[in-house]
Structure 1
Amino acid sequence: MQKIGVLLVFSVLLFPALPVRAQHMLSEGKIVYKVEVELPADAPANAAGMFRGSHFDIAFKPYRTRTDMYLGQRYHYTTIHDTRDSSAVSLIEILQNKYLLRLSSGDVDTLQARYNGVTFRDVSGSRKIAGYICRKAIGQLKDGSIFTVYYTPALSAAQDGFNGQFNGLQGFPLEYEKTTHRGLKMVFTATAVETEPLPASWFDIPDSGYRELSPQEWRSMRQKD
């Protein structure tokens, strides 16, 4: 099951009658999502416990975004993205092992490539999530695969490109599906939207405590696992 955890690291109808808040630009703050993992049918019976308590956080600061994926108690993946040059640093913690990857804008583009050309169409349905009325949409990737997203037009991200999966979405996603290239499905549902300023130190890159790897070295490690 460690391999499953490691592999996780890396719209036609409109609703004008829905009440929405004046749009708020997310330049500072944090959104917390609970994460539900749908395991393959052949997964061990006790595997579900491995992902219990999983959650995903997105934090914003001018010119910076930070995402933290906590998969149960064993895996923690952090990515700090500098929107000025589209570079990023990923911090990966797997049990007692800690790795740091520096990603150029080209590396980031490669990781986001599967979402190039994503399109959205609104469909019938709405939900209230984390206090916001959300519209339902179907996203479609260039390979033909689709996913469901609930988004609020009341929020938008000040930083472009923080998540290529939602390029072109007319609002901010508060619930969505994500499927890994190995077919593992996750559902992200926002539980809190916080708009208070965050300390700048939250976006600092650690200068010790991590073994630095190149993206190529990390891919090689994953293949051997």
Structure 2
Amino acid sequence: MLAGFIAGSASPLWAQRTISDARISYKVEMPAEQLQMEAMFANSSMIQYLRGHQSRIDMNFNVVNYIYLINAQEETVVTLMDNHGDKYLIRTDKKGYEQDTKKYSNTQFTDQTEIREIAGYKCRKAIGKMEDGTTFDVYYTMDLIPENKYYNRRFMNLKGIPLEFEIVVKSGSKMKVTATKVDLSPVPASIFDVPKGYREITADELKKIRG
């Protein structure tokens, strides 16, 4: 645990280190056609939390928000969805967790020559290729190595923390996610508590709600 160290200071440290705690804030740029359909998607954001074997992803699309609570030790995921105040909770058991992990286990990342600085860290470009042939760009820093490589299974085979990456949406377009701040101070355990006020439903029921 790297208590008290906050990245993005005037003199970033470039030495490679393994981290157990982190809070990474990202801005999300939606595809142009998505913004044309729904302007409220503008200024979307994401936060990635890490704490030991637990991780959390907050996706704020303004019109709908998602929270993913991931426990790599227990191999479970709790998905929380807030759609205009309608709040739903979906639990993924160990079997579902393993199926989702397998989906990304064969993702390959090929390093490119391009180097950029993002949120105070030197990042190398890589091209990710999923098992179905889908590709996406990612810029990652090797200065930060996650103790828990399953904190975000999309990047379990990446050699560092992604600070900019693309997410392919259903239409085939890509939204870009770029880090704006990296905070390596301790993350409170309460961040991973399941909040109250959500109605528990199944994954199939969620699909029907999403249409």
TM-score (norm 2): 0.87
CA offset digits 1:59-99 (Å, max 9, x no partner):
1112210110001x221100111111210111100111000
Alignment deviations for residues 142-191 of structure 1 (CA, whole Å, 9 cap, x no partner): 22221111111001111121222222211111111110233242101000
Matched, 1:141 2:130: yes
1:105 aligns with 2:98: no
Q: Distance between the aligned counterparts of 1:210 and 1:119, measured in 2? A: 36
Contact 1:35 1:56 in 2 (8 A): yes
The structure 1 segments of at least 4 consecutive aligned residues displaced by more than 4 Å after TM superposition are: none
Match of 2:55 among 65, 72, 78: 65
Aligned equivalents of 1:172 and 1:85: distance in 2? 23
TM, length-normalised to structure 1? 0.82
**Aligned-residue offset at 1:110:** 3.3
2:168 match: 179
Q: Which runs of 5+ in 2 are unaligned?
A: 1-11
Q: Tell me what 2:31 maps to.
A: 38
Counterpart selection for 1:127 from 107, 110, 116: 116
* Superposition deviation, residue 54 in structure 1: 0.6
Alpha-carbon distance in 1 for matches of 2:97, 2:169: 17
In structure 2, relative to structure 1, the CA distance for the partners of 1:156 and 1:44 (3 Å cut) is closer
| Unpaired stretches in structure 1, ≥5 consecutive residues | 1-18
- Match in the other structure for 2:208: 220
Kept in 1, the 8 Å contact 2:150–2:156? The answer is: yes
For these two proteins, the number of residue pairs brought into alignment is 200
CA distance in 2, matches of 1:35, 1:116: 25
Q: Check if 1:190 corresponds to 2:183.
A: no
Could you list the per-position Cα deviations for residues 109-152 of structure 1 after superposition, in whole angstroms to 9, with x for gaps in the alignment? 33454423111111121100000000111111122221111111
Q: Is the 8 A contact 1:27 1:157 kept in 2?
A: yes
- Structure 2 contact 48–56 (Cα < 8 Å) conserved: yes
